[in-house]
Amino acid sequence: MYRCMNVLSLAMLVLLIPASCVDTGLMELLSSYDDPLMTSLDLAFLLVTHGYNATPGNGCVVVVAGNSTYTLVPNGERPGLADISDSKSSSLTFN
């Protein structure tokens, strides 16, 4: 029983640590709106107008915030604006 709880606790920590490393303002902006038609160019424009260093690329947007670099991919019909990943973690989706 305790072994199962330890494994569950460890799994939760592994899942939560990358999310805490993502810029809070960026996370809030991405989860505040839904736009199924948003392209990477539209997303980059939105981020630049909110003060982020964003560059559209091949279907994605590269954002440099502080010492971190994030790759955002517009997520279409799913809630929020984009899926986000950084160089230190796997892909994260913010709903």
Structure pTM?
0.67
Predicted confidence (pLDDT) per residue in 52-77, tens digit = 999 998 899 999 988 889 999 998 88
Whole-angstrom Cα distance, residue 62 to residue 40?
Answer: 10
Strands 82-86 and 92-93: antiparallel
Predicted confidence (pLDDT) per residue in 18-61, tens digit = 444 567 888 899 988 888 999 999 999 999 999 999 999 889 99
Q: Per-residue confidence at 90, pLDDT binned at 50, 70, 90?
A: very low
CA 88, 90, 91, 92 dihedral sign is: negative
DSSP class of 79 = S
